[in-house]
Chain A
Amino acid sequence: MSELRGIIVSHAAVAHALVAAVGVITGIEDALTSVSNEGCGTEALAERLRDAVGEGPAVLFVDLPGGSCMTSSTRYAKQHADIAVVTGVNLAMLLDFVFHRDVTPAEAARRAVDAGAKAIRVTAA
């Protein structure tokens, strides 16, 4: 089994910035790829996803639980094996993901949801 990869799918440059941040923090540069929906209709975004995922298993990390990034990613997962989709991507879940890629996409997706949710809290109010 080839190693699990993460594809971040977002509006504007959010995905690109998250990949850069993971690189700065961990030094891991080859686990994540960014895709922006900028200027994309449904077909163009599907093509960008296809190019980014390539062969092998992947988790698609999407910014919002609705919208073109989510609909295109979920549709892609339905048409391809070994693809899971997680919405509400944040830096915490990506940092956890890049160190835990020896699992199935479904397991990695569940783990990402836990890691991402744990990072959301009020630290001052």
Chain B
Amino acid sequence: MTLALYRIDDRLIHGQVVVGWGQPLNASFIVLVDDEVSSSDWEQDLYRMGVPPQIEVIFASVDHAAAMLTTWEADERVGILLVGDVESALALAQRAPQVRRFNVGGVHHRTGRRERLRFVYLSDEEAAKLRQLAAGGVDVTAQDVPTARAIPVGEFT
């Protein structure tokens, strides 16, 4: 199969991802792309705790992920790729043209951000980066769980 979901979610691995998306997609592996987590064994143990043993978790920096994307896309299992912020999504897409879509699943309140959707808060700069991502040919939508509507980037940025 392939990477069935590319997701921006500042909680990274959590229930919505593992259960909400993982079950219906029948995901067998999760790629967590984060420069900080990929360099901390302790953080990796923490995220692995929330994943059932039959699901493999792969930790990667943005650079490593860009280099490995073709391999993961060719994996016969179904996988989910996660990044924690808009910057990482854009950086990955710029290094790896295989990125065709990104799901905005959870970007929460922080100083400088304003509410765009119940589960999406963005600074103006982040909104511009999402539009830039879309202009580059990536299908960008916001959707927290599979049963919700996928909201096109133009409706929330």
Contact = CB atoms under 8 A, between A and B. Distances in A.
Given A67-B15, A68-B11, A68-B14, A44 B42 contact: no
Contacts of B13: 66-67, 71
A40 B42 CA distance: 22
Interface string B90-129: 0000000000000000111110000000110000000000
B119 to A, nearest CB: 8
A70 B50 contact: yes
Interface string A64-83: 11111011001100100000
Interface string B10-54: 111111001000000000000000000000001000110111000
A27 interface: no
B22 to A, nearest CB: 11
Nearest to B52: A66
Contact of A41 (B49, B51, B108): B108
Chain B interface, >50% SS class: loop
Interface string A106-121: 0000000000000000
B50 A64 contact: yes
B10 A71 contact: no
Contacts of B106: 41
B108 A44 contact: yes
A51 interface: no
A85 B63 CA distance: 34
A41 B12 CA distance: 10
Interface of B: 10-15, 18, 42, 46-47, 49-51, 106-110, 118-119
Interface of A: 11, 39-44, 64-68, 70-71, 74-75, 78
